[in-house]
Amino acid sequence: MITLGCVLLLCGLARVMATYPIWWSLAVGQQYSSLGTQPILCGSIPGLVPKQLRFCRNYVEIMPSVAEGVKIGIQECQHQFRGRRWNCTTINDSLAIFGPVLDKATRESAFVHAIASAGVAFAVTRSCAEGSATICGCDTRHKGPPGEGWKWGGCSEDVEFGSMVSREFADARENRPDARSAMNRQNNEAGRTSLNDNMFLKCKCHGLSGSCEVKTCWWSQPDFRVIGDYMKDKYDSASEMAVEKHRESRGWVETLRPKYNYFKPPADGDLVYYETSPNFCDPNPETGSFGTRDRSCNLTSHGIDGCDLLCCGRGHNTRTEKRREKCHCIFHWCCYVSCQECMRVYDVHTCK
């Protein structure tokens, strides 16, 4: 009986782990802090499914950018959620870097998946421009010896390559027929779509006497903050779905359909979820909530970062703090700031 329980528990754990994108730990792991300077060993990345492992081995030179992408995704998540009850906290000593929050198919999970997949596409595109990856964009559309395609008609935009990497790598594990996989697929795609939607077109005229007789245009990637803002809007307007089970030839297949018929069904760029979020007020190891105790809050704000809402009505403590700060700084564009030191007094409010 005990062994059976153990097996069940293990199975349960394994099931959870299988859905959890453990490879995201690339972004926080100490061993990858020197990204770009030393090659990544694909075998050492935890939680890769065979397809991802294969991809990693084939494109090992872009793996640092993949890791970098997850990292900027997480940073952006933490920026966007900085004043909220759930603030995108990562746990350092676990492979499941967000803790159990992502086990449930909540809005938060949806956001994290989307921003991570957008981050990967973004970072890969960026590294292509930097020249740190040699395989970017230049597919062999034009027949002939290698290099001829580039000489004949140039390469496709790096953005397409970035999205392709994100699609191949991040979505590699989302091929199960269950509802969660469908949700992750949709949300990952939403992240990439948001990246594409926010590209902006720039043009340069260079014809006769610099006239627009000849004009060349290209798509530029926005600052990742813009993507973050956009995704945050998508988070706020995410669609709640209901799970439907179908019997198909390969077995039971779960699909998602909009829960409320009077809302518009989600488009490609929309986030979807099908479980309600916990309230994140109190610590709960099961839901992955850390609670808002000791979080600092904004006394003057009436929004979610205000002390009333953030502290879930428990009230807050106030203490005054003296901080030594740099002030009257003179900046130079890089690397050198001359400052004075000032003493400032702050009122710090923390939740009870």
Partner 1 sequence: MAGAIIENMSTKKLVIFGVILLLFQAFSFMVGGLIAPGPTSVVHYLATKCVDTAKSHQSTKWFMPWGPNQCEKIRTFDEAMAKKIEANNIVFAVHIPLPNKEMSPWFQFILVILQFDIAFKMNNQIEDGALATVDVGLAYRDDSLSEWTEMAHSLEQRKLNCNFTTIKTYENEGRYYECDLLPFMEVGSVAHKYYLLNIRLPVHERKKVNVGIGEIKDIRLVGIHQNGGFTKVWFAMKTFLTPSILIIMIWYWRRITLMTRPPVLLEKVIFALGISMTFINIPVEWFSVGFNWTWMLLFGDIRQGIFYSMLLSFWIIFCGEHLMDQTERNRFSIYWKQVGPIVFGSFCLFIFDMCERGVQLTNPFYSIWASDVGTELAMAFIIVAGICACLYFLFLCFMVFQVFRNISGKRTSLPAMSKARRLHYEGLIFRFKFLMLVTLFCAAMTVIFFIISQVNEGHWHWGDYTVQVNSAFFTGIYGMWNLYVFAIMFLYAPSHKRYGDNQSSDPGASSGEEIQLTTTITHVDGPTEVYKMMGKDSQE
Binding site for partner 1 (CB under 8 A): 36, 126, 128-134, 136, 138, 142, 147, 150-155, 157-158, 202, 204, 206, 208-210, 212-218, 220, 223, 225-226, 329, 331-337
- The nearest distance, CB 205 to partner 1, in angstroms, is 9
- The nearest distance, CB 225 to partner 1, in angstroms, is 5
Rounded CA-CA distance 351/317 in Å is 6
- The nearest distance, CB 203 to partner 1, in angstroms, is 9
Rounded CA-CA distance 191/186 in Å is 9
The two beta strands, 289-290 and 283-284, are antiparallel
- The nearest distance, CB 70 to partner 1, in angstroms, is 16
Instruction: Tell the burial category of 130 from Cβ atoms under 10 Å away from its Cβ (0-12, 13-18, 19+).
Output: exposed
CB nearer to partner 1: pick between 46 and 210: 210
- The nearest distance, CB 219 to partner 1, in angstroms, is 9
- The nearest distance, CB 48 to partner 1, in angstroms, is 25
CB nearer to partner 1: pick between 36 and 100: 36
The torsion defined by the Cα of 85, 88, 90 and 91, in degrees rounded to 10, comes to: 30
CB nearer to partner 1: pick between 89 and 132: 132
CB nearer to partner 1: pick between 233 and 244: 233
CB nearer to partner 1: pick between 225 and 246: 225
Residue 3: both structure tokens together: 């062994």
Instruction: Tell the burial category of 165 from Cβ atoms under 10 Å away from its Cβ (0-12, 13-18, 19+).
Output: buried
- The nearest distance, CB 259 to partner 1, in angstroms, is 34
CB nearer to partner 1: pick between 150 and 260: 150
Give, as one character, the DSSP assignment of residue 331: E
220 SS3 class: strand
CB nearer to partner 1: pick between 62 and 101: 62
Residue 90: both structure tokens together: 């990562």
**Residues contacting residue 254 through CB under 8 Å, at least 6 positions apart:** 177, 178, 179, 182, 243, 244, 245, 246
Half-sphere exposure of 325 (CA within 13 A, CB side): 10
CB nearer to partner 1: pick between 74 and 281: 74
- The nearest distance, CB 136 to partner 1, in angstroms, is 7
Residue 294's CB is within 10 A of a number of other CB atoms, namely 11
Contact 135, 126 (CB under 8 A): no
